[in-house]
Structures are given as C-alpha cells and as structure tokens.
C-alpha cells in the first residue's frame, strides 16, 4: 500500500505478552480513503494489533496513527479515530435519546443531529431502551453513534459478530454509504469475508502474529493467478508447485503467486481467486473451515 498521505504507518511493530509475540515484527501503511480488511485465524494477532493502533497495549517498533503516537497521545488520537471492539457494550438502562445527549457531552467532535439522522435509517427509535434492543439493532445504534464523530479513521473488530445476514448487510450498507467518503479509512476485522470482499479496497493478512500479505485488491488480482483445470492435467498442475490446489464448481483449481509458465497456463482457464482461497494458501491451516476465519 502507498505511503502517500498514510493515516497509519507501522515499522517493525511487535507486541509481546510475556515471552509470546502476539504481533511479530510487522510493517505496513494504511492510506486515506480505503476500506481495509484485517484477516487472520483466531489468535493470529488481529485484536492485539487493533488495540495497539488506539494505544490500549504497548508496542515495540515505530507506530504513527494520524500522525500521533497512540500510547502517549491516546486522548488526542481518539478525537480523530473511532474504535468499536468485539466486546463493545452500551449501557442497557439508558434510552437511545439520552445516550446521544451523553455522547454530545463526552466527545468534542460528536454530532447529535448526525447521529439522529443515521438512526432514521434503522429500526431503532429514540425512545427505545438499549436493553430492549435486539443485537442487530444495538450494533446499528452503536455505529450511528460512532459514525457521527467527525473522525478520519474507524477501527472495527468483528463488528457484526453473531448477527444474522440481514443485520450484517444493513450494518455494512450504512457504514459504506454514510461514513466512507474517499478521505476517511476503515480497518475492519471480520469472519464474514465473502460478504464484504466487494466492499474492500485492501487486505492485511496475519498468521501467528506475522504479516503474510499487505496488498490492494487491484494488485492482488494482478499478482495471484488461479487456473481452473480438468482432472486429466492435475499432475502437471501439481508439478508447477502452486500455492494451493482446491475444488471449484465443475472441477479443480490451482493458485499461483505470479504467472506460471506458459505451458502451465495453457492447461487451464484463469479464474479470480477469492480472499478465502488466498487466505488458506498463505496461512497453511489444513484444518481450517474455509467458511469461517
């Protein structure tokens, strides 16, 4: 990813818990105006990385978020960056209208009117008590609060965990339509990759704390080549040492990092590899359920 006008710059970033490195010497940039998917198995270091970005854990190496040191300038940083953790909790006793008033007193860049405008896109009513909202409604209410902050970076850790498909769709539609404007960026960790792949501009992949891929989806399509092929040429495909061999509708496919030799390309038909296929290829977890990570 380009370093031009980067909102996040990390160089040789590590986070330790005792002797274990949850994040292990990673370097990346996050430009403005991007929607970046953060992918990794459970325990890969995604949540730890997000916490480091907002100054909740101490990190080694160099880290700049919106031009600030997250650990030393956390209060100032959170005026311009929004964070929804995977265990985000709203007070259950409060009504939504009162919650908006409370946010107005707590955050200098929060717009109560903007929050009410976003809520009109949902089934959440201002008179509703938070404790009476369904999980999907609560997540949408939380997004309406966070997206009403005049910020440049939003960090979302599994924001739709446990929601049904309609609630997830509504959440991401509101996020893209009402917050992404070509200047602000989103970093989102999610297991529903197939659902949001079309929304992403870039991807970061972590495997056991290490960064195995940092790339735009445009560059990913140019760099990685997947060839679907008939069973009769399977051995020849295997001999070319693909990153991954997998099943596709009507046959098999082989995934290569870079274009394979011309005689190999002639054996198959180029197809677009999905992020799930690429994730499996780069993280080497044969036991992985490829519908969830």
Looking at the whole model, is its pTM more than 0.85? yes
What percent of the chain is predicted at pLDDT more than 90? 66
Amino acid 140: pLDDT: 87
Helix H, strand E, coil C: the string for the chain is CCCCCEEEEEEEEEEEECCEEEEEEEEEEEECCCEEEEECCCCCCHHHHHHHHCCCCCCEEEEEECCECCCCCHHHHCCCEEEECCCCCCCCCCEHHHHHHHHHHHCCCECHHHHHHHHCCCCCCCCCEHHHCCHHHHHHHHHHHHCCECCCEEEEECCCCCCCHHHHHHHHHHHHHHCCCCCCEEEEECCCHHHHHHHCCEEEEEECCEEEEEEEHHHHHHHEEEEEECHHHHHHHHHCCCCEEEEECCEEEEEEECCCCHHHHCCCEEECCCHHHHHHHHHCCCCCCCCCC
pLDDT tens digits, 190-213: 878 888 899 999 999 999 999 999
- Tens digit of each residue's pLDDT (9 = 90 or more) over 263-273: 999 999 999 88
Domains in the chain and their CATH numbers?
Answer: 6-208 (3.40.50.300), 223-283 (no CATH)
């Amino acid at each position: 990813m380009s370093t031009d006008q980067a909102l996040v710059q990390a160089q040789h970033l590590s986070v330790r818990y005792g002797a274990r490195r949850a994040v292990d010497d990673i370097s990346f940039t996050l430009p403005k105006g991007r929607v970046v998917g953060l992918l990794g198995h459970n325990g890969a270091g995604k949540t730890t990385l997000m916490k480091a970005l907002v100054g909740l854990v101490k990190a080694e190496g160099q880290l700049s978020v919106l031009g600030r040191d997250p650990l030393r300038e956390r209060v100032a940083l959170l005026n311009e960056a929004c964070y929804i953790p995977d265990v985000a909790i709203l007070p259950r006793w409060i009504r939504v209208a009162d919650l908006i008033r409370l946010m107005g007193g707590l955050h200098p860049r929060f717009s109560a009117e903007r929050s009410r405008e976003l809520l009109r896109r949902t089934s959440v009513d201002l008179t509703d008590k938070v404790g009476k909202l369904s999980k999907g409604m609560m997540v949408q209410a939380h997004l309406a609060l966070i997206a009403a902050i005049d910020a440049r970076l939003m960090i979302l850790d599994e924001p739709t965990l446990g929601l049904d498909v309609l609630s997830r769709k509504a959440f991401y539609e509101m996020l893209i339509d009402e917050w992404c404007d070509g200047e602000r960026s989103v970093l989102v960790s999610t297991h529903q990759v197939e659902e949001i792949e079309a929304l992403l501009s870039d991807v970061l992949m972590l495997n056991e704390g290490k960064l195995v891929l940092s790339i735009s989806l445009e560059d990913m399509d140019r760099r990685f080549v997947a060839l679907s092929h008939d069973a009769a040429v399977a051995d020849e495909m295997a001999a070319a040492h693909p990153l991954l061999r997998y099943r596709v509708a009507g046959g098999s496919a082989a995934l290569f990092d870079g274009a394979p030799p011309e005689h190999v390309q002639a054996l198959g038909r180029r197809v677009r590899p999905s992020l799930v296929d690429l994730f499996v290829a780069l993280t080497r977890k044969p036991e992985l359920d490829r519908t969830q990570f």
